[in-house]
Amino acid sequence: MTKPLPRAGSLDTADEELARRVAKGDPAAFEALMRRHNRTMFRTARAILHDDAEAEDALQEAYLQAFRTIGGFRGEAKFSTWMARVVANEALGRLRKQVRRAAIVPLQGGVEIDQVNPTMEGSMDKGPETAARRAEMRKLLEKRIDALPGAYRPVFMLRAVEEYSVEETASILQIPAATVRSRFHRARSLLREGLASEVDLAYEGVFGFAGERCDRIVASVMQRIAKEPR
């Protein structure tokens, strides 16, 4: 019999143990996994789909797929890598459908890099102005990430923002490691134009994952899990 997951102690439970509990029929363990990795998985989906609402939908579907197939997780890679691959596959599938639809109904293009003003005058001063400038830098960086070519954006998000290794990124996106390196290098070159050293200060806060969005995704998935056949 599966022991109930202690709510307060779930933060100390390893991903692998939580995954084993899910495979044995413990939805609470899956909720803990979702809350632990929600921001990373949302960022992964959004980097591919370039749209908040579409990314949320893709993430929910990916979570349901993961819940149904988690028995296949053997621990050869980190759980977060396994889960990100599921999310990326779902997002890429949706992207392919968008491309096919775009052949019939053209989609509105995103922001071009040359539309973003790269000028940030002055140095990073100490005091209240620092937070405001960093917030401005985060917004500018988000626009520049959105303006990256579709092939570069997921690589940059996984490598620079989520700090996956080259090998993990290659596994998630199912592309060669050499391609990850070249795309990441090109993405950084594009983003660093006009930002210089300030860009490093803005990585952590891009595409903030608010508690409301986290709760909404988790609640929706848990409702659907409750309807799953046992």
Flag whether pLDDT at 205 surpasses 80: no
Q: Given its phi and psi angles, is residue 129 left (phi above 0), alpha (psi -120 to 50 degrees) or beta? A: alpha
Tell me what pLDDT residue 230 has.
75
Angle at 190 between CA 209 and CA 182, to 5 degrees: 95
Query: What is the rounded CA–CA span in Å between residue 155 and residue 9?
Result: 34
213 contacts 56 by C-beta, under 8 angstroms: yes
23-37, 72-86, 97-111: the lowest-pLDDT one: 97-111
Block residue for tokens 């209240």: 128
pLDDT at 26 (0 to 100): 94
Higher pLDDT, 156 or 109: 156
Which pLDDT score is estimated for 105? Answer: 39
Please state, in angstroms and rounded to a whole number, the distance separating the CA atoms of residues 220 and 223.
5
Higher pLDDT, 75 or 169: 169
Please tell me which residue, 115 or 127, carries the higher pLDDT value: 127
Half-sphere exposure of 86 (CA within 13 A, CB side): 23
Burial status of residue 206 (CB atoms within 10 A of its CB: 0-12, 13-18, 19 or more): middle
Percent of the chain with pLDDT over 70: 73
CA atoms within 13 A on the CB side of 155: 23
Which residue type, as a one-letter code, is found at position 188? R
User: How far from the centroid of its chain's Cα atoms is residue 184's Cα?
Assistant: 16
pLDDT at 204: 59
Tell whether the model's pLDDT for residue 216 goes beyond 50.
yes
Task: Please count the other Cβ atoms lying within 10 Å of the Cβ belonging to residue 218.
Answer: 18
**What is residue 195's predicted lDDT score, i.e. its pLDDT?**
56
pLDDT at residue 103, as a whole number:
47
Q: Is the pLDDT of residue 111 over 60?
A: no
DSSP H or E segment with residue 13:
none
Burial status of residue 14 (CB atoms within 10 A of its CB: 0-12, 13-18, 19 or more): exposed
Confidence of residue 84 (pLDDT cuts 50, 70, 90): very high
- Rounded to whole angstroms, the Cα distance separating 87 from 84 reads 5
Radius of gyration of the chain (CA): 19
- Which region, left, alpha or beta, applies to residue 124 given φ > 0 means left and ψ of -120 to 50 means alpha? beta
The stretch 3-22 carries a mean pLDDT of 73
Average pLDDT value for the chain: 79
